[in-house]
Copies of this chain bind each other. A is one copy, B any other.
């Protein structure tokens, strides 16, 4: 992952509205949620939520799918895991005894991902 992409993601999670929305979607899993339900759950003005969801979508942290007149949002779990890997990679380099492998193993990933996360296995 590139720095620019990572900062974009962190920026997208740096507001309470956006973080709450994303966590709601993570909790919801593959089912996702439509915009109106998110707005109700968070008690936020629709235009404001739209602004924030757009930021999350631009960072890639959520996906949108049209569903009739609704917009269904889903958390991008694979990207979340990529971010975690990015954040923790090379942790304590030079102290091999202290740092082994931080990469998260996720059954959520197993359930949701195609052949993503080809990440090098780090000996």
Contact = CB atoms under 8 A, between A and B. Distances in A.
Interface in A54-111: 77, 80, 84, 87-88, 90-95, 97-108, 110-111
Give chain A's interface residue range (CB within 8 Å of chain B).
35 or more
A14 to B, nearest CB: 4
28 contacts: A6-B13, A6-B19, A7-B13, A7-B14, A10-B14, A10-B19, A11-B14, A14-B14, A23-B87, A26-B90, A26-B91, A27-B92, A29-B92, A29-B93, A29-B99, A30-B98, A80-B87, A84-B84, A84-B87, A88-B106, A91-B106, A92-B108, A98-B107, A99-B107, A100-B107, A102-B107, A102-B108, A104-B104
A20 interface: yes
A33 to B, nearest CB: 13
A40 interface: no
A44 to B, nearest CB: 14
Given A29-B93, A91-B26, A103 B104 contact: yes
Given A3-B16, A10-B19, A27-B90, A84 B98 contact: no
Given A3-B20, A80-B88, 10 more contacts: A6-B13, A26-B90, A27-B90, A27-B91, A29-B95, A30-B92, A80-B87, A88-B104, A102-B106, A103-B104
